Structure 1
């Protein structure tokens, strides 16, 4: 089984954009958003993906993840039968001191929210944080995309 280990942070400024090596628009929905297993459908640029994630561990930093590339057409068809709500964001990839930070700038009902995630090889791994990172929100379910779909940031 694939194990995903990551930390999530709020972003305090848009300084990251000047440091980004790449950006891509992402539209995603959920076939299942229950915490025990989320099933996500995503159109990421010119590719489609189907992803299954398990429940996180106690810290919220680790959980099972399985992902399969599908065609954009298949993803668009699956988006039609997803639960209500959609996540619309641009993801920026920023290399900082040996780590790739995935910075998501949200639109629509999550406008105004920007979060950064960094994948780790183990939970105890040290992360050197860029100046534009703010409070760590790892394990805070409000910031899970599956929850932002149900309880958008603009409604908090």
Structure 2
């Protein structure tokens, strides 16, 4: 009987250990160089946005762009830039700032990188500063060293 219980004990330990090993999460590490490169691209993108430099801003997106917005649905490249053209003509001086410490970058094998974070958009309306804090996910495509955004998910509005 003791031998039988010991055998069950050994089998259970083996099964438990195997299950734990099988469930172990393998996370791709983000090289510091990639993090720094995407952080620099984020800065370049929103420096252009804040300066209302449409040519520079637009050049940082692929033409097959898909922009998913929680309160606006799926938007195409054409619609996205029609909206930005109108926004850039507005006199409310909308600016974006990355929330410090919120940026995360994850490599995408043979494609580029995923960037996530939280950002704030600020503008003055009726003499009062309005601030909105939102979350985002951007997929950056690297084509021969040229970084462009191919997908955007803007949410938590």
Is the strand fraction higher in 1 or 2? 1
- Regarding TM over 0.5, the answer is no
TM-score of the two chains, using structure 2 as the length reference: 0.32
Q: Which has the higher contact order (CA 8 A, sep 6+)?
A: 1
**Whose Rg is larger?**
2
